[in-house]
Amino acid sequence: MGRLDYSIAFNNEPVPEHPNCLIFSAWDEQGNEIASNMEYFSVGGGFVLSRAELNAKLEETHEVPAGMAAAQSDDERIPYDFSTGDQLLELCKETGKTIWEIIAANEAVLHREDGGIARVNTHLDLVWDVMRECVTDGISTKGILPGGLQVNRRAPQLYALLLEQQDDPTSGFSAMEWVNLYALAVNEQNAAGGRVVTAPTNGACGIIPAVLHYARDFLPDFTRETARRFLLTAGAVGMIIKQNASISGAEVGCQGEVGSASSMAAAGLAEILGATPAQIENAAEIALEHNLGLTCDPVGGLVQIPCIERNAIGAVKSINSARLARMGEGTHHVTLDNAVQTMAETGRDMHTKYKETSIGGLAKTLGLSVSQVEC
């Protein structure tokens, strides 16, 4: 051993419990094994679990019927405890508050020792600032993305084209082109190791910023306060999905990443469009429903193909979902909870090769698994 590149062995046969496992073993200078089989699992959204923690999580999930993971709040102090979409809607009805107000009240209590709601707002503003910086950096950085796939950054070129033709009524360009631009810019930054907001994961980090930029540029009266309401509402949906299914491509495929981000963004936008809580829940449901079954198959193990474009498609889907829901009354056959439960069950049934392993789907068709990309 000694050289790092010889010390990592990629194994395309995942351990049965989870596709994203890293096993550490260590040897001393004499070659005696001093630690072995220390297993850690990357379960998405930046979370890493030890073997004991993963086992506890799996046990917890299996105790609960129909794919709904145990969803008790771990903080009894919050004023509005919920774990499902139905419970959240019930709270809105009981209190007369909308979704963002419920989340803001909870967060204010959780942060009461470090500034309360002022602290929460400061953080939300920072999130929005970082998203804007990411777009600015993405549209101004040209070149080939690292990793060996030779993927060209498209955002700068698209931005130049949009600026050039935005006043030409015959160009056929609309808000959709700008949404595509924003999503590409953020995901190209992510693919290049730039600073992004994990929302809710890095692979799906372009959707929420793209939809927020759409709201800023194409809806009236957008302020920092609007962005806060969007993010708090989107956060509520993210919590429900994470508690009852997963936001991890390694656990449930891309429906958990792009599907979750799309659902969150749809809810946030619906709030900005003046939707009722029932319409917001409907928006989140529509976006998630039409991402069900989406597999995770990043070519060469890089978050580039299909991930970058998939965020643009997901952002447009969010906007359409919010607009569709806003036109209705919030009554619908499939609830957000139904869609989340379906995602969990579909994810469990999904073959491991479609869960971030890069051995199925597009990764297989293009013939490039994780270890085959020439850097």
Between 148 and 328, name the residue whose CB sits nearer to ligand SF4: 148
DSSP letter assigned to residue 15: B
Between 256 and 277, name the residue whose CB sits nearer to ligand SF4: 256
Burial 103-112 (b: 16+ CB within 10 A, else e): bbbbbbbebe
Between 261 and 266, name the residue whose CB sits nearer to ligand SF4: 261
Question: Helix 155-165 vs helix 116-140: angle between axes, to the nearest 10 degrees?
Answer: 90
Rounded to the nearest whole angstrom, what is the least distance from the CB of residue 262 to ligand SF4 in the complex?
11
Rounded to the nearest whole angstrom, what is the least distance from the CB of residue 240 to ligand SF4 in the complex?
19
Spatial distance between the Cα atoms of 375 and 34, rounded to a whole number of angstroms: 32
Between 99 and 312, name the residue whose CB sits nearer to ligand SF4: 312
Between 29 and 349, name the residue whose CB sits nearer to ligand SF4: 349
The string of DSSP codes covering 49-84 is EEHHHHHHHHHHHHHSGGG------S-TT-SS---S
Spatial distance between the Cα atoms of 137 and 129, rounded to a whole number of angstroms: 12
Rounded to the nearest whole angstrom, what is the least distance from the CB of residue 296 to ligand SF4 in the complex?
3
Between 204 and 339, name the residue whose CB sits nearer to ligand SF4: 204
Rounded to the nearest whole angstrom, what is the least distance from the CB of residue 189 to ligand SF4 in the complex?
14
Spatial distance between the Cα atoms of 27 and 1, rounded to a whole number of angstroms: 9
Between 42 and 87, name the residue whose CB sits nearer to ligand SF4: 42
Rounded to the nearest whole angstrom, what is the least distance from the CB of residue 364 to ligand SF4 in the complex?
13
Between 88 and 294, name the residue whose CB sits nearer to ligand SF4: 294
Rounded to the nearest whole angstrom, what is the least distance from the CB of residue 183 to ligand SF4 in the complex?
11
∠ Cα 251 256 260 (to 5°)? 155
CB within 8 A of 19, min separation 6: which ones?
Answer: 250, 352, 355, 356, 357
| Positions that interact with ligand SF4 (CB under 6 A) | 203-204, 249, 254, 257-258, 296-298, 303, 306-307, 310, 356
Tokens describing residue 246: 């997963």
Q: For the chain, first and last CA: distance in Å? A: 21
Rounded to the nearest whole angstrom, what is the least distance from the CB of residue 204 to ligand SF4 in the complex?
5
Rounded to the nearest whole angstrom, what is the least distance from the CB of residue 356 to ligand SF4 in the complex?
5
Q: Exposed (0-12), middle (13-18) or buried (19+): which is 117, by Cβ within 10 Å?
A: middle
DSSP reduced 3-state for 47: strand
